[in-house]
């Protein structure tokens, strides 16, 4: 491991990978900002970065999603292809596509002294590339040993079965999830031949259009605020999709399904007469995080302590199970010197 290699997460939630490179937060003095994906907890300080950095970079898909979300700063982003490598000063920065929401990229910085510093961002383990690195900054959302979910294929089956059962009984279904997860659920139902019309909130409508631009097949869908969408919601058998904070748009008499990563051990649970929670997550669970670290074999792991989750516990477990030194960041002194 090269000496003098500073990798940490700042209190402003910026992941510092290189001498000039940060991800997903702003920190003065770092002139290249990478946006790993369009979820709000990865957009901290974006306006400031656009004003102060030399370059703010994302994948094309992420830039399009941010534009669709109405983020005016997105116009200033430099869009690159997933897999592209940029040279910035003496450092090489590679964006590596990974399964999470459309456009998500992990970031590998190769420093002047040869040290390889990787930020995992949010990711699903099942298809994640295994990248050898010296220091790994790891998503810690599900970093406690109890945070274990069934295989995603099992979850897909459970979700489809609930939807199919409801539609078979003539009952509309309303689904709640974050952007990206909803479009994945929409495509899954289409692939399994659900051909009833979909209705989505205006925000989800704009996001869905971007997914279609990049090859997703979502079938027939309407905005819940449009004339046709409103009529379908009132009169027809349908499946509607909203964000978790858009529940007010839903008719409480429908079968309701919440998609969340915070249900463990079982693919779904029934919480009311017509209410279900499905263990649908775009993140790796605890066991997968440990397996991922084991395969990447870094010399040091920094667990991201700026985005909630279980960074302290995860660092302990990595040391205990794999013998790889690890610590959460930010800590009180907030700079980790390796």
User: Binder to Zn ion among 24, 61, 122, 317 (CB under 5 A)?
Assistant: 122
| Residues in contact with Zn ion, shown as a per-residue x/- string from 18 to 47 under the rule CB under 5 A | ---------------------x--------
| Distance of closest approach, residue 35 Cβ to Zn ion, in angstroms | 11
Binding to Zn ion (CB under 5 A): which residues in 274-313?
A: none
Distances (CA, A) of 248 to 174, 177, 231, 275, 303: 12, 14, 17, 15, 36
Sort strands 300-304 and 239-242 into parallel, antiparallel or unpaired: unpaired
Site string for Zn ion, 149-178 (x = CB under 5 A): ------------------------------
Choose the binding region for Zn ion from 118-126, 166-174, 242-250, 292-300 (rule: CB under 5 A): 118-126
Cα torsion 81, 103, 57, 92: sign: negative
CB atoms within 10 A of CB 214: 12
Residue 79 burial (10 A CB sphere; 0-12, 13-18, 19+): middle
Rounded to the nearest whole angstrom, what is the least distance from the CB of residue 13 to Zn ion in the complex? 13
Q: How far apart are CA 27 and CA 114, in angstroms?
A: 24
Omega before 330 within 30 of 0, i.e. cis = yes
Report the residue number, 173 or 186, with the smaller CB distance to Zn ion: 186
Question: Could you tell me which residues are beta bridge partners of residue 198?
Answer: 221, 239
Backbone angles phi, psi at 78, to 5 degrees: -90, 120
CB of 122 to Zn ion, least distance (A): 4
Identity of the residue, 24 or 110, whose beta carbon is nearer to Zn ion in the bound complex: 24
Number of residues that bind Zn ion (CB under 5 A): 2
143 or 172: CB nearest Zn ion: 143
Q: Toward Zn ion, which CB reaches closer, 39 or 149?
A: 39
Interaction site with Zn ion (CB under 5 A): 39, 122
């Amino acid at each position: 491991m090269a000496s003098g290699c500073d990798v940490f997460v700042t209190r402003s939630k910026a992941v510092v990978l290189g001498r000039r490179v940060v991800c997903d937060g702003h920190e003065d003095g770092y002139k290249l900002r990478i946006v790993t994906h369009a979820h709000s907890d990865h957009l901290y300080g974006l306006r400031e970065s656009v004003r102060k950095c030399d370059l703010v970079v994302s994948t094309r898909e992420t830039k399009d999603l941010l534009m669709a979300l109405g983020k005016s700063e997105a116009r200033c982003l430099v869009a690159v292809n997933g897999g592209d490598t940029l040279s910035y000063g003496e450092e090489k920065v590679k964006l590596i596509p990974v399964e999470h929401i459309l456009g998500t990229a992990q970031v590998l910085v190769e420093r002047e002294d040869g040290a390889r510093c990787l930020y995992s961002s949010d990711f699903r383990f099942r298809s994640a590339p295994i990248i050898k690195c010296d220091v790994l900054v790891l998503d810690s959302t599900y970093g406690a040993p109890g945070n274990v979910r069934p295989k995603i294929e099992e979850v897909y089956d459970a979700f489809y079965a609930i939807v199919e059962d409801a539609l078979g009984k003539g009952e509309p279904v309303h689904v709640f999830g974050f952007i990206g997860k909803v479009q994945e659920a929409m495509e899954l139902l289409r692939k399994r031949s659900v051909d009833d019309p979909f209705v989505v909130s205006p925000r989800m409508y704009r996001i869905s259009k971007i997914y279609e631009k990049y090859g997703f097949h979502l079938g027939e869908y309407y905005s819940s605020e449009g004339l046709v969408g409103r009529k379908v919601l009132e009169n027809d058998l349908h499946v509607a999709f909203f964000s978790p904070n858009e529940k007010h748009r839903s008719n409480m008499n429908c079968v309701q399904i919440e998609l969340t990563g915070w249900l463990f051990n079982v693919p779904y649970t029934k919480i009311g007469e017509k209410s279900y929670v499905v263990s649908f997550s775009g993140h790796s669970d605890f066991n997968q995080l440990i397996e991922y670290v084991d395969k990447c074999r870094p010399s040091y792991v920094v667990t991201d302590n700026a985005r909630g989750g279980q960074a302290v516990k995860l660092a302990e477990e990595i040391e205990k199970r794999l013998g790889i030194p690890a610590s959460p960041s930010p800590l009180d002194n907030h700079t980790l010197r390796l």
